[in-house]
A and B are shown apart, each in its own frame.
Chain A
């Protein structure tokens, strides 16, 4: 799993925040069918059921086959949402909605999964749970994941490579290889190596961002 960021995703520059942005890598100039996207908000269609929402990418390609339905159901079961297929988004919690959004992104079996601060809107404990969930998903369906986050620990926990970007203009400051072994758990966050890596990344920011340096 690489931690990267499409710099010009849909024509918009993603870098340029004050704070921690871990990005870099591939340039994406328009929506690609082989990339699934997970946004910061779940962005499910409120008038469709969970199952219909998951099948949206297939429906948009006019694919309503039984095989597609099976895949959607399989994805939901995989994310622990088997019983919620006929529910509506408003009946689900934030974490569950985001899981549905991940299923949707995986629907067409993309080679690349783009995740733009997908767990930012969740509370801290749910966020940690989702991190573990994401790693579980990734261990089954190996894909290249490009994960944008403001959280240094999250980047180090999840990533194989963390690409640190500078604020405006967004340029790659450094690419840090994360040499922690897999599988990782929340316990990994207690290891010394984890702390060193976080510290190193933080120091990269320290030299660039006045706000972080003053902390």
Chain B
């Protein structure tokens, strides 16, 4: 988890993606070559030492499973279900975080009353209460959306509160000196100033959303990539598990790139500059 000192510059550190959002071609080439080398070593070493396919499958077997999963169309309902859970959970969690965070920040009474309970709730590992959600909301997508939303809620809530707290006192004085109403100060100063930290919270929420959905599926599901992993694992189809993991990772890197672009355009909004 990151910490948010006031006025932090939004740093993009996800998977070595360059701040401009574009990786120079030479870097791409080098990364690609490295990846190929690693895969070759993997394949060679596993064959050489006759590593069991149940422990560490060879890349060629994984590749083959990937092909069959996509070719037979098996993967699509699962991929789709998980994506829906992630996106829906993210949206609901973020909206709740934004609204409740804004309310808490702008109404001091509310903050004093509610925040301690929220902190207490936050310390509870959401994934530990996932089984409870399965009982409450069933084996369908709903339970996973709820878990994901809950998991996304807290980082966004905290970052909204931190964002509103980070408003520069002198800037507030300046707005008052020019006769701004409370509403004008909110719209023109407090919200833009909070955006830097809020986007940082959104980044974290995006990462956690995937975890929330997958773990929810581990606990109880009938469809989804997490469900697929558990099922394939049960059937000792380890190459299949790896194949699904690759699909999952591809999804995550896509997420990170989106966040990187959203984040960099905001870096100059940092009032600390």
A-side residues, CB < 8 A to B, are 10, 31, 33, 37, 39, 41, 43, 45-47, 56-57, 59-61, 88-90, 104
Task: Give CA–CA (A59, B175) in the complex, Å.
Answer: 12
Task: Give CA–CA (A59, B269) in the complex, Å.
Answer: 20
Is B192 a contact of A45 with CB atoms below 8 Å? Answer: yes
Is A43 a contact of B171 with CB atoms below 8 Å? Answer: yes
Is A61 a contact of B170 with CB atoms below 8 Å? Answer: no
Q: Quick one: given A10-B173, A43-B171, A43-B174, are A60 and B268 in contact (CB under 8 Å)? A: no
B273: contacting residue among A39, A59, A90, A104, CB under 8 A: A90
Task: Give CA–CA (A41, B273) in the complex, Å.
Answer: 12
Is A37 a contact of B178 with CB atoms below 8 Å? Answer: yes
Q: List 17 A-B contacts (CB under 8 A).
A: A33-B179, A37-B174, A37-B177, A39-B173, A39-B174, A39-B177, A43-B168, A43-B173, A46-B269, A46-B270, A47-B269, A57-B178, A60-B175, A60-B179, A61-B179, A88-B268, A90-B268
Closest 10 CB pairs of A and B: A43-B174, A37-B177, A47-B192, A57-B178, A90-B273, A47-B269, A60-B180, A31-B177, A46-B271, A90-B268
Is A57 a contact of B174 with CB atoms below 8 Å? Answer: no
Most buried by A among B174, B176, B181, B188: B174
Most buried by B among A33, A41, A43, A59: A43
Chain B contacts for A45, CB-based, 8 A: 171, 188-189, 192
- Chain B, residues 61-98, CB within 8 Å of chain A (1/0): the string is 00000000000000000000000000000000000000
Task: Give CA–CA (A56, B177) in the complex, Å.
Answer: 11
Q: How far is the CB of A36 from chain B (nearest CB, A)?
A: 8
Q: Looking at chain B, what size class is its interface with the partner chain? A: 20 to 34
Is B178 a contact of A46 with CB atoms below 8 Å? Answer: no
Residue of B nearest to A43 (CB): B174
Task: Give CA–CA (A31, B176) in the complex, Å.
Answer: 7
Chain A contacts for B37, CB-based, 8 A: none
Q: Quick one: given A10-B177, A47-B192, A60-B179, are A39 and B269 in contact (CB under 8 Å)? A: no
Chain A contacts for B270, CB-based, 8 A: 46
Residue of A nearest to B191 (CB): A47
Q: How far is the CB of A148 from chain B (nearest CB, A)?
A: 14
Q: How far is the CB of A12 from chain B (nearest CB, A)?
A: 9
Chain A contacts for B170, CB-based, 8 A: 39, 41, 43
Chain B contacts for A61, CB-based, 8 A: 179
Task: Give CA–CA (A61, B273) in the complex, Å.
Answer: 28
Chain A contacts for B180, CB-based, 8 A: 60
Is A46 a contact of B268 with CB atoms below 8 Å? Answer: yes
Is B176 a contact of A60 with CB atoms below 8 Å? Answer: no
Chain A contacts for B189, CB-based, 8 A: 45
Chain A contacts for B173, CB-based, 8 A: 10, 39, 43
Residue of A nearest to B173 (CB): A10
| B184 interfacial contact with A, CB 8 Å | yes
- Chain B, residues 140-170, CB within 8 Å of chain A (1/0): the string is 0000000000000000000000000000101
B179: contacting residue among A39, A47, A57, A89, CB under 8 A: A57
Q: How far is the CB of B87 from chain A (nearest CB, A)?
A: 28
Q: How far is the CB of A86 from chain B (nearest CB, A)?
A: 14
A10: contacting residue among B168, B176, B188, B273, CB under 8 A: B176
Chain A contacts for B174, CB-based, 8 A: 37, 39, 43
**B105-150 interface (Cβ within 8 A of A):** none
Q: How far is the CB of B172 from chain A (nearest CB, A)?
A: 10
Q: How far is the CB of B160 from chain A (nearest CB, A)?
A: 17
Residue of B nearest to A52 (CB): B188
Q: How far is the CB of A9 from chain B (nearest CB, A)?
A: 9
Residue of B nearest to A101 (CB): B174
Q: How far is the CB of A63 from chain B (nearest CB, A)?
A: 12
Task: Give CA–CA (A194, B171) in the complex, Å.
Answer: 37
Residue of B nearest to A42 (CB): B174
Task: Give CA–CA (A43, B268) in the complex, Å.
Answer: 15
Q: How far is the CB of B167 from chain A (nearest CB, A)?
A: 11
Task: Give CA–CA (A56, B181) in the complex, Å.
Answer: 13
Chain B contacts for A46, CB-based, 8 A: 268-271, 273
Q: How far is the CB of B152 from chain A (nearest CB, A)?
A: 25
Task: Give CA–CA (A83, B171) in the complex, Å.
Answer: 25
Residue of A nearest to B270 (CB): A46
Task: Give CA–CA (A101, B175) in the complex, Å.
Answer: 13
Chain A contacts for B179, CB-based, 8 A: 31, 33, 57, 60-61
Q: How far is the CB of A103 from chain B (nearest CB, A)?
A: 13
Chain B contacts for A56, CB-based, 8 A: 178, 188
